[in-house]
Chains A and B, each alone.
Chain A
Amino acid sequence: MQQASYAELFCLSNFTFLTGASHPQELAERAMELGYAALAITDVCSVAGIPRAWAALKNTPTRLITGSCFEAQDAPPDACAPRFILLARTRKGYGQLCQLITSARRRASKGQYQLLCQDLDSHALDDCLCLWQTPPATEVRAEDALTCGRWLQQRFQSRFWIVATRTLESGEEQQLERIRWLAGQLHCPITAAGEVHMHIRGRQPLQDLLTALRHHTTVEQAGHRLFQNGERYLRPLPVLQRLYPRDWLQETLRIASQCSFEPGSLRYEYPPDLVPDGLTPAAYLEQLTRAGEKQRYPEGSPPAVQALIRKELALISELHYEHYFLTIHDIVLYARSRGILCQGRGSAANSAVCYCLGITEVNPARVQLLFERFISRDRNEPPDIDVDFEHERREEVIQYIYRRYGRERAALAATVIRYRPRSAIRDVGRALGFDPVQVEQLLEGIDWRDRDTDWRQQIMDKGLTRNPGTADQFFSLVNTLLGFPRHLSQHVGGFVISAGPLAELVPVENAAMAGRTVIQWDKEDLESLGLMKVDILALGMLTAIRKALALISEDRGQEFRIQDIPPEDPATYAMLQKGDSIGVFQVESRAQINMLPRLKPETWYDLVIEVAIVRPGPIQGDMVHPYLRRKHGLEPVDYPDDAIRSVLERTLGVPIFQEQVIRLAMVAAGFSAGEADQLRRAMAAWKAHGDLTPFRDKLISGMLERGHDAGFAERLYQQICGFGGYGFPESHAASFALLVYVSAWLKRHYPAAFFCALLNSQPMGFYSPSQLVQDARRHNVSVLPPDINHSQWQHTLEGPGRQLRLGLRLIQGLSARGAQQVCQCRPATGYRSATELRRLAGLSQRDMELLAGANALASVSGDRHQAYWQLLGHEQPAELFARETDDEPAEAACKLLPEPGEGQNILADYASQGLSLRRHPLALLREQGHLKHCLTAEQLHTAESGRPVQVAGLVTGRQRPGSAAGVTFVTLEDETGNVNVVVWLETARRQRKPLLTARLLQVKGVLEREGSITHVLAGKLSDLSHLIRSLPVSSRNFH
């Protein structure tokens, strides 16, 4: 006798957004616990929940069935619109299902779907099973229902069932009666199915809440839109046996036994396009690698590199990853051919093979890399290489990929946007009918970084509600909702490329951005199914570097490339050691600027460390100070044994990189590469919800076995915990450090070209154009204002002195077309008047006014007020026969207009360009005697440490980094530079007002200096913003 069991064939997860109330893995685990033979995840027009359910069910007796449910938009003649579930029988059926979902999704806007009855005819669905959900007996006439059923049955023949669901709701008896009648009429079997929305009954409140949110109402107002009870859960087998006739339950097993498709059987089929006929992929990869090797090492490669290449090629070919490397090589080759700078990163990227293929510039001879991190024999997972491209030209690369593989074969991976505390609190509050203003107030009051008291406690302290019952309910709902998916968004650049149509591998849907499509799976889903993804990322610094190189080439009269930059230039390192790094890649943040003089980088590898060390992991793991002490010889470096020495030697015995932690687990505790990788994932997840305890025992016992003492073992474990998921991988730092060096070298030796290129690549980086221009001038770059007779759209270098001429792009609001015309139509001798400019360039009144407002007409028409006056009054098109000639006498100046004062000019510059080349406003205020006793940024450098000081400046930054508990860092800007102010929590609390609102801030405090790092520890803060108004002009937005 067959053992009583059950297969749930109709189950929605929370990937049916705002409907399903359980995660796919929760459903999967519960089904397994209850002893179900199988569970089908059948989200609405989606298979987004499948990978997670699969991860939970693989290697268990409960099988996962892949399906999806639909409601057609239209109806067959004389029938109602069909609602049904499709289940995939085999891999072929799965492909058919994905195709159908893709068609329905692509037809509708983001997040929606539109299925038409004709789709069931135009798509092959012969390997899918159809379960029909009959319409409610109270709403649809029996004949219409029957016609609908007949219509569906014709299409699926013997693969057609009627679903019967016992929800115990009112009207159920009529419904069951109707189902029996329809089954009799159609001679088709009935199967039980639970229409499951949650894994346990306890999720009913959350399910009600989601329903209310979906209908944009509150739970209280939702009325009959809520389900009548919480019966749509995974029921225990005895309950099912009580509720359903035996044969209906048996039918579920019969259906399940037909569905043999397993998501794990999906194999990535690499696009074969790249391999020339007659060659195997392995041979072709080797051929390309060897050719590259000759270019990289013209005098022959060192033996170590040769060995590395052999080892890597063998591993790649053993795991069949040739296509992956070939694909990336092809994309990089395309970028090179178009002059687009790019660079790969990640440990697979920093391999000898990738160096030879030109994917990375990191010479394997210079750094020891953990190739195993991404490619491992233990795990059947694909390698991961990120390639950065110039941010302004990444789109060209993306378009190339679409062209090369077609939209049917290439699409972006999805990013699942999930509920976070803020959004969860907001939505739960909304559904429970709380006043949105109150909820906002609550959210504002929460200090998310305050780790000591969690937000729950903070809300309780604030008295969200007097009713503790409501509060409990609120929290438990918020807690459950946290991490629920809200919608699918597009990944920043992860492309999935396939051999056959992608839509047979995974459904493709529309992204919010026009012309973009995303697949229904995200990065982790792809990883868990072992599918390949290529990350095409955008990096602003590459744009800036390419532009700077072009300017230098122009200067030198011959091409100047990255390779032409001399390595390890002492002058460049000397500049970095001073913390002079505004504009330099990665090391321009305030924390980095402070670290540079302490770490004193002297070599490229120091930069690799610099990039990785200013991160929460090393800071919280307390690795910074030991490293610095050892680097400067203040502390001895020792290693317990040689194995550990080999891992930590290059960082002086202190683990700084993520790879080192992993590697330590391998050499000190005997973890295999695969186990170490699990540790890496656990570390990444640890902060969120993870648990490292399972690894603790293994780590510690492993270390004890290898003769380390218990103290050392415990310390290492603690370091791993402190590191959390916030370590930076060496393989990424290595690639980044190259760009740090290149950009620093450019700044040191070609500052004008460097800043010009940076300004032309905005927006990017940490600093505003105003700050960059000030820094440029401090580096003796002379900067000229925008001018209709000299400027281009871009910023340019001008004359033999290579002065930086600001471009018209800086003028806020000016149309690019107008600016282009100004440049194109400019006579060789320049424009002689505003009238001529208007006539020749055909500018709109708006553009003319913007140019005058920016004082860009200064060379042709007096001060900005007069220039503007002359422009006005031309709004109507000139009369047809009225002749406007250039020798028309210039209009008489209007005597009633005041001449602009210095302050007025400065503010007008800021208003139109966000910066001014005139004196800094602080210089004016100082001259007017408003800032007595205040030292300038420059004076601070020579002032004595520990003495009380006063400073004042425009507030250019307020930061509260998560790694510095309670401290606010304020950056003030004056005419000589930037002042760093440190505000302790208590000071901040007592002086919220000036701290949060001042645009011009005065600080009394104490000067502190450590080495060459100077900052002011704030005592009293005063808001001096009113002084900006005293620059004799009406106030306008400033900064």
Chain B
Amino acid sequence: MLWLYLHFPHLLLDHIRRAQPDTGPLAITDAGGQKVIQACPHARDLGIRPGMRLKTALGLAPELAIIRASDHQQERILEDQAFWLYRHAAHIVPVPPDGLLAEVGSLQRMYGSLDALWKVLEQALQERQLTAWPGTAHTPLAACLIARSGQGEFCSDKARSLHLLSQLPLTRAGLDERTCTRLQRLGLETLGQVFALPQAELARRLSRETLMRVQKILGTRADPQTPWQPPHRFRQQLDFAQDVERVQGLLFPLQRILSELEADLHWRQQDTDCLQLSLRHRHEQATRLRIRTSGPEHRAEAFLNLIRLVFERQPLKAPVISVHLSVQRFLDRQIPTGQDLLGQNGDPDEAWHTLVSRLQARLGDNALTQIVPQPDHRPELAWRALPVGHRHKAVPAVPGAHRPLWLLPEPQSLGETPRAWLSGPERIQAGWWDGQRVHRDYYIAQLHHGQLAWVFRDPGGDWFVHGWFG
């Protein structure tokens, strides 16, 4: 067996950079936002190094753009890479946070030679604007160590890889800190010196685990790897180092992930008719878009045109910090679709869903909404319309509050003096933080025609009707 390990030395950085080319020095920090874990070349020129405290980095480059990494995000991006590698190799294993392992011994025949395979992979990496350091060896662990050293080559010569391994400094051998310190205290510096120690002594003086690790590297102990299976969905994400304010800035990077989708669909031999696009903003709620095609589709260009149309109708409500594209519905290419919605169902839940789907199909997604309470003292913001079926957190309404069932979309000026005051004032002062400041005294009043109105007075002394009681 021959293993190929691809080490992505700055996966997150590549991921950000390809969505948004050079925007000045950029660094990725750990989840806590304390330490730099990756730095772009520009940032490195300024002296910023992985492992540096963010404080120091900012001292070096006050204008540094910073992205905080999360384990979850890294894992997801790595899995995105597994998708395409899987098209080239059957037995692959993602090694979080930044490596992919592939068995390539069996592929040599298919591709003609190892070099030919590497050319294909190199091109795939280039298309995706990713940097990967390769390492090949006869054991997964050896391939990994060689790749991570950055000095790996694409070759199947066992002696060569053994030589590379022997040269590796202990600090690069992936040993736990304690073992590494102990070996260093013995004056050892390279992995080769450790290989040279008698194995029995190694187990006795260091630990069984250390011996096992050495054996796994050398291949004298089995190191089984469970092959990865792609999930039945497609998803990709774009993260931006700087907020994107214009649609144009989204379309360009979207192109790449739509091509990725096309390739994925091609490989599945399937189509889709619905893309889910979610745009995240810094402060506002995410914008969720469902892009429906008129029929089964797989061409990136067609998707892009549709998306462009959607944006023409609906401009960005706020700058975008990331875009998430997913496809969950796959249609076999042979079978025409569109009829399964009309199938008969006895389940009332199912019937409700059918009704909603039908109405949505007829009237459009946005025509159907449900009302849910929002925790806000301002009456106009105390509720919210959500697409039907959208999950939301349960919020109790204000206890004991007198609120009219019919709230006017906008307060209307009150033209008359009410006949009677029934309750009040209730004073509401809120919203200084979002520019929708409210300062009102509310009363329940009876107007001349007998209607019960919810009226308020603003600080200027003007009167408004804001709702009607039954």
Which chain A residues have a beta carbon within 8 Å of chain B's beta carbons? Answer: 136-139, 168-174, 204-205, 208, 219-220, 223-226, 228-231, 432-433, 435-438, 440-441, 444-445, 469, 473, 849, 852-853, 864-865, 868-869, 872-873, 875, 894, 896-900, 904, 908, 992-994, 996-997, 1033-1034, 1036
Contacts and interface: CB of A to CB of B under 8 A. Distances in A.
Q: How many B residues are at the interface, by size bracket?
A: 35 or more
B188 to A, nearest CB: 7
A992 B185 contact: no
Given A169-B427, A445-B62, A1034 B171 contact: yes
A173 B400 CA distance: 10
Contacts of A435: 282
A224 B377 contact: yes
Contact of B187 (A445, A865, A872): A865
Contacts of A849: 182, 185
Contacts of A173: 423
B185 A228 contact: no
B125 interface: no
B353 interface: no
B60 A992 contact: yes
Given A229-B429, A230-B429, A445 B58 contact: yes
Given A170-B426, A992-B59, A993-B60, A852 B401 contact: no
A68 to B, nearest CB: 28
A865 B184 CA distance: 9
Contact of B428 (A137, A228, A1036): A228
Contacts of B186: 865, 868-869, 872, 897
Interface string B170-198: 11000000000010111111000100110
Contacts of B109: none
B55 interface: yes
Nearest to A998: B47
B426 A993 contact: no
Nearest to B34: A440
10 contacts: A168-B441, A171-B401, A208-B432, A230-B429, A436-B33, A849-B182, A864-B187, A872-B204, A896-B197, A997-B60
Contact of A868 (B185, B395, B399): B185
A872 B435 contact: no
Given A205-B433, A224-B377, A1034-B184, A444 B428 contact: no
Given A849-B182, A849-B185, A865-B186, A993 B197 contact: no
Given A168-B427, A473-B432, A174 B400 contact: yes
B54 interface: yes
A1035 to B, nearest CB: 8
Across the A-B interface, the 8 shortest Cβ-Cβ residue pairs: A223-B375, A993-B47, A171-B400, A872-B205, A444-B58, A168-B427, A170-B401, A865-B187
Interface of B: 29, 33, 46-47, 49, 52, 54-56, 58-60, 62, 64, 66, 68, 169-171, 182, 184-189, 193, 196-197, 201, 204-207, 282-283, 374-377, 395, 398-402, 423, 425-430, 432-435, 441
Nearest to A171: B400
Contacts of A225: 375
B432 A853 contact: no
Contacts of B201: 873, 894
B189 A1033 contact: yes
A996 B375 contact: no
Contacts of A899: 187
A218 to B, nearest CB: 9
A904 B283 contact: no
A437 B70 CA distance: 14
Question: Which of B60, B283, B400, B425 lies at the interface centre, i.e. has the most chain A CB atoms within 10 A of its CB?
Answer: B400
A908 B376 CA distance: 63
A157 B91 CA distance: 83
Contact of A1034 (B59, B169, B376, B402): B169
Nearest to B189: A1034
Contact of A224 (B54, B197, B375, B426): B375
Nearest to A993: B47
A440 B185 contact: no
A433 B434 CA distance: 11
Contacts of B62: 441, 444-445
Contacts of A1034: 169-171, 184, 189
Contacts of A231: 427
Contact of B283 (A136, A137, A228, A433): A433
Contact of B426 (A169, A204, A208, A223): A169
A137 B400 contact: yes
Contact of A432 (B66, B170, B193, B433): B433
- Which of A170, A220, A873, A993 has its CB near the most chain B CB atoms (within 10 A)? A170
A444 B59 contact: yes
Given A868-B185, A897-B188, 16 more contacts: A138-B399, A171-B399, A223-B375, A224-B375, A228-B426, A229-B427, A440-B33, A444-B58, A864-B187, A865-B186, A865-B187, A872-B186, A872-B205, A897-B186, A992-B47, A994-B47
A237 B212 CA distance: 83
B58 A172 contact: no
A605 to B, nearest CB: 43
A875 B209 CA distance: 14
A196 to B, nearest CB: 16
A897 B197 CA distance: 9
A865 B206 CA distance: 14
A202 B99 CA distance: 56
Contacts of A138: 399-400
A894 B435 CA distance: 76
A168 B426 CA distance: 5
Contact of A898 (B46, B187, B432): B187
Contacts of A996: 47, 56, 59-60
A226 B193 CA distance: 66
B185 A229 contact: no
B48 to A, nearest CB: 9
Contacts of B54: 437, 440, 444
Contacts of A229: 377, 427-430
A473 B435 CA distance: 11
Contacts of A993: 46-47, 60
A913 to B, nearest CB: 14
Nearest to B399: A138
A224 B29 CA distance: 35
A171 to B, nearest CB: 3
Given A169-B426, A437-B66, A872 B170 contact: no
A615 to B, nearest CB: 28
Nearest to B67: A437
Given A204-B432, A440-B33, A469-B435, A853 B189 contact: no
Given A170-B401, A993-B60, A908 B375 contact: no
Contacts of B426: 168-170, 172, 228
Nearest to A467: B435
B66 A853 contact: no
B355 to A, nearest CB: 33
B427 A228 contact: yes
A958 B265 CA distance: 59
Contact of A896 (B193, B375, B429): B193
A486 to B, nearest CB: 22
B282 A873 contact: no
B241 to A, nearest CB: 12
Contacts of A904: 187
Contacts of A445: 58, 62
A236 to B, nearest CB: 16
Contacts of B56: 996-997
A963 B395 CA distance: 56
Given A898-B187, A997-B60, A220 B400 contact: no
B30 to A, nearest CB: 11
- The residue in A433, A438, A873 that gathers the most chain B C-beta atoms within 10 A of its C-beta is A873
Contacts of B49: 997
B211 to A, nearest CB: 12
Contacts of A169: 426-427
